[in-house]
């Protein structure tokens, strides 16, 4: 008796699953034969660097941690008669992603991203750098996208990526001071893709890519 109940339940579950897929937006159209997507994008670095990537691990902000590590790692002190100054720069977030269009409304894949921050100590007289502190972040995340509108050249979607962040710290005297790892994420509130086999895209969201990112991709 239990065999027939379990078997009937499996058929019932499969029927519901097929009905859900059938009534999902965009599922009335056939999936394009070009189901593979490769993308390269650049994200603004400020909210990525000083954002919520450590919100689940540490109460200190990224900026506070960065300056704390930088100040503790500087081994040099300028002579009394020589003046210097501090400078900081941030490299944008570069991302490379791959997605597979599993269903008309669903894409699954992953992303690899990197961004860097650097603080330098410079001589005021000739602006030569005598000490620096460099922090490089690598982000590796699994991702999913939900397509809710498309026509011949335009596609609107939202997405979520979850993964790990590996941060490398180094100074001029120590190529690898230490490395840390933690949780990272990217929430895409709105993504716009425009083009066919070769396309451009713009995303608004929050996480390791920052609030705004833009790039190019190809479908094959």
**87 located within any domain:** no
Residue 126 has a pLDDT of 67
Q: How many CA atoms lie within 13 A of 43 on its CB side?
A: 28
Gyration radius (Cα) of the chain, Å: 24
How many structural domains are present in the chain? 1
**20 located within any domain:** no
Q: What is the DSSP string of 162-197?
A: EEEEEEEEEESS-S--EEEEEEEEEEEEEEEEEESS
Residue 23 has a pLDDT of 43
Specify whether the CB–CB gap between 92 and 45 falls below 8 A. Answer: yes
**56 located within any domain:** yes
Residue 100 has a pLDDT of 96
**59 located within any domain:** yes
| Domain containing residue 147: CATH number | 2.40.160.20
Prediction pTM value: 0.72
Residue 171 has a pLDDT of 76
Specify whether the CB–CB gap between 45 and 53 falls below 8 A. Answer: no
Phi, psi values for residue 71, rounded to 5°: -65, -35
**172 located within any domain:** yes
**105 located within any domain:** yes
**9 located within any domain:** no
Per-residue pLDDT of the chain (220 residues; tens, 9 = 90+): 333 334 444 444 444 444 444 444 544 344 556 789 999 999 988 777 554 444 444 445 555 666 666 666 555 566 666 667 667 778 889 999 999 999 989 999 999 999 888 877 777 766 677 677 788 889 999 999 999 888 888 999 999 999 998 888 787 767 776 777 888 889 999 999 999 899 999 999 988 998 899 999 999 9
User: Residue 43, exposed/middle/buried by CB under 10 A (0-12, 13-18, 19+)?
Assistant: buried
| Domain enclosing residue 205, as ranges | 32-76+94-219
Look at the block and give the residue holding tokens 């450590």. 54
**63 located within any domain:** yes
Residue 150 has a pLDDT of 83
């Amino acid at each position: 008796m239990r065999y027939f109940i379990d078997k009937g339940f499996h058929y019932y579950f499969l029927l519901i699953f097929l009905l859900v897929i059938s009534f999902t937006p965009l599922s009335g159209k056939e999936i394009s034969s070009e189901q593979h997507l490769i993308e390269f994008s650049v994200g603004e670095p400020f909210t990525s660097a000083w954002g919520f990537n450590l919100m689940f691990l540490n109460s200190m902000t990224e900026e506070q941690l960065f300056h704390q590590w930088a100040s503790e790692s500087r081994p040099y002190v300028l002579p009394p008669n020589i003046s210097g100054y501090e400078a900081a720069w941030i490299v944008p977030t570069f991302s490379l992603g791959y997605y597979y269009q599993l269903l008309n409304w669903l894409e699954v894949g992953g992303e690899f991203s990197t961004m860097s921050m650097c603080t330098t100590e410079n001589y005021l007289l000739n602006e030569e750098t005598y000490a620096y502190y460099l922090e490089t972040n690598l982000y590796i995340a699994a991702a999913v996208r939900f397509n809710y509108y498309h026509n011949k050249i335009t596609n609107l979607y939202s997405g979520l990526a979850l993964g790990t962040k590996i941060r490398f710290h180094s100074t001029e005297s120590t190529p690898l001071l230490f490395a840390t790892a933690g949780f990272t994420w990217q929430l895409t509130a709105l993504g716009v893709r425009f083009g066919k086999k070769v396309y451009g895209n713009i995303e608004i969201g929050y996480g390791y890519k920052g609030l705004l990112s833009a790039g190019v991709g190809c479908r094959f």
